Amino acid sequence: MKTRTLGILAVLLLFGCSKDNAVTTEEPNTTVDYTQQMAPTNSTYSLTQAISDNGQLMTIAFSGMAFMTGDTGSDSFFPPGKVADFFGFQYMRDIDEAGYGHNTLFLTRAANNMLAILSTDQKAKLVALAKEQASIYSKFAYNRFPLMKAFRRNLEGNIPTGSTGLSAEMVVKYCSNLYAIDANLSYNRALMMGGIVQTLTAEQKAKLAVMQFNNFNTWPDVAEDADLKKNLTNSEFVAVMTYASELFSWYKGGLNADIYFCPERHGTYFGGFYLKDYPAMNNPNYFIPLDRTGQGGNDFLNTLTAEQKSLISGIITEQKASLLEVAQIRETVSKELRKAMNGQMVDKTLVYQKIQRYGELDGWMSGLYAIRFAAVYKTLTADQKAKLTIIRDLNIYPTGAYCFATPVAMPALPNIDYMFGIGTIPSDAANYDAPVGFSSN
């Protein structure tokens, strides 16, 4: 039986990626260490590793296990840093030489240092954008729910009369609209941060020069800006801290850092983040285990029959072209946004078009995952389900849901039968206004 509790209030967490490896075609019911198959000779985090068969399979398998043992509340837990993530922070975290990249202190210390270095006028720019974008963040979080609900309904067989199941076409259209919000956040963040970079003084640059991009131990332990915090809502403060940490990674990093993404960047609607990161919530100085995704995915695959495994492993080849296009889009967008650092004009139309195409690709991959997870779930035996519960190793489920990483009541949702091909997609799909009370304030 599930034990349920309201999730602990936590916002500024560290959500890591794992260096996970690939699949082989072993006989059914044979225990295989999939994380050791086809292991890359160079273990350094890179875009090549992120889109590798190895990294993708373990991530998708872990998501499948989390989804099949979870619920909508778990699915809704989502790190704020996975939105508008073209500013190098993910890469800075993953290559940290001090080993703190996956520690809960990492983002906070980067942000606190940046805020200590910035002038009052420069910090005011962060605050102004946070006040503007806090509600947009909440809107993005809320508009993930119709997708999550559709995916879970498809898993449970709760589909509308006249439908044969989830409509991949509708999911793609919905995600394209959803990523228009991401484009808004990304574009305006780049303009604001680029403006600050242009005004950095020689003294500020000298202080930043001492702090290494890839070494947490070179960052002073700076106190939180209490005066700044007390004048902001929770949502606004989270946004300011996000901007400050990304301003540091963007300034200190480079184009390759901006383009990089971890294997779990896409298909984020299946509860994997909650499963892995719940122990870190309100747990200072906690290190998220780097092998959690790989081990969980490995154990999941070993629970499946050969036919069931093939439904999961087959995703890898089918999504490869989409992942390659994602990498190309991230390069184009990252190059364009970096122009803001030099006072150049950023092509807004290009940024929006490319990020919405990004959404289409993410939607196609996410829909594929949801369809395959449902196909496997329908064939699981009672014994397999019991084993997956053990592999999950977390019997705490939220009583409500999450607006990113902050507990909220489960929100009311619009009719989503169109996600199953019944009726037409509404013009405001993925642009629904969040209901009153749905926010991380």
pLDDT confidence band for 31 (50 / 70 / 90): low
H/E stretch holding 68 = helix 53-68
pLDDT confidence band for 102 (50 / 70 / 90): confident
Residue pair 152/75 in contact (Cβ under 8 Å)? The answer is yes
* pLDDT: which is higher, 17 or 379: 379
Which region among 43-57, 299-313, 341-355, 356-370 has the lowest average model confidence (pLDDT)?
A: 43-57
* pLDDT: which is higher, 159 or 262: 159
Tokens of 262: 């971890």
What pLDDT was estimated at residue 44? 63
H/E stretch holding 114 = helix 106-117
**Burial (CB count <10 Å: 0-12, 13-18, 19+), residue 422:** middle
Give the range with max mean pLDDT: 76-85, 206-215, 256-265: 206-215
Write down the pTM of the prediction. 0.89
* pLDDT: which is higher, 286 or 218: 218
Spatial neighbors of 304 by CB under 8 A, at least 6 apart, are 28, 312, 376, 384
pLDDT at 171 over 80: yes
Considering only the C-alpha atoms of the chain, give the largest distance between any 2 of them, rounded to a whole number of Å. Answer: 67
What pLDDT was estimated at residue 24? 32
**Burial (CB count <10 Å: 0-12, 13-18, 19+), residue 206:** exposed
pLDDT confidence band for 28 (50 / 70 / 90): very low
Phi, psi angles (nearest 5°) of residue 103: -105, 150
Residue pair 208/117 in contact (Cβ under 8 Å)? The answer is yes
pLDDT confidence band for 441 (50 / 70 / 90): low
pLDDT at 41 over 90: no
Map out the domains of the chain as residue ranges.
21-420
Q: What is the mean pLDDT of residues 55-73?
A: 97
Strand partners, 408: 401
Please name which of 6, 245, 276 lies closest in space to residue 130, comparing C-alpha atoms: 245
Residue pair 151/270 in contact (Cβ under 8 Å)? The answer is yes
Task: Quickly count helices (H) and strands (E) in the chain.
Answer: 17, 4
pLDDT at 11 over 80: no
pLDDT at 22 over 60: no
What pLDDT was estimated at residue 440? 53
Residue pair 403/151 in contact (Cβ under 8 Å)? The answer is no
pLDDT at 13 over 50: no
Amino acid found at 180? A
Residue pair 286/104 in contact (Cβ under 8 Å)? The answer is yes
Task: For residue range 220-249, list pLDDT tens digits in order.
Answer: 999 999 999 999 998 899 999 999 999 999
pLDDT at 7 over 90: no
What pLDDT was estimated at residue 348? 98
% of residues, the chain, pLDDT over 70: 90
What pLDDT was estimated at residue 289? 77
CB environment 320-351: b (16+ within 10 A), e (fewer) = eebbeebbebbbbbbebbbebbeeeebeeeeb
Which region among 104-108, 120-124, 181-185 has the lowest average model confidence (pLDDT)?
A: 104-108
Residue pair 175/362 in contact (Cβ under 8 Å)? The answer is yes
Q: How many CA atoms lie within 13 A of 63 on its CB side?
A: 34
DSSP letter at 417? Answer: G
pLDDT at 27 over 60: no
Q: What is the mean pLDDT of residues 17-41?
A: 38
Can you say how many angstroms the Cα of residue 332 is from the centroid of all Cα atoms in its chain?
20
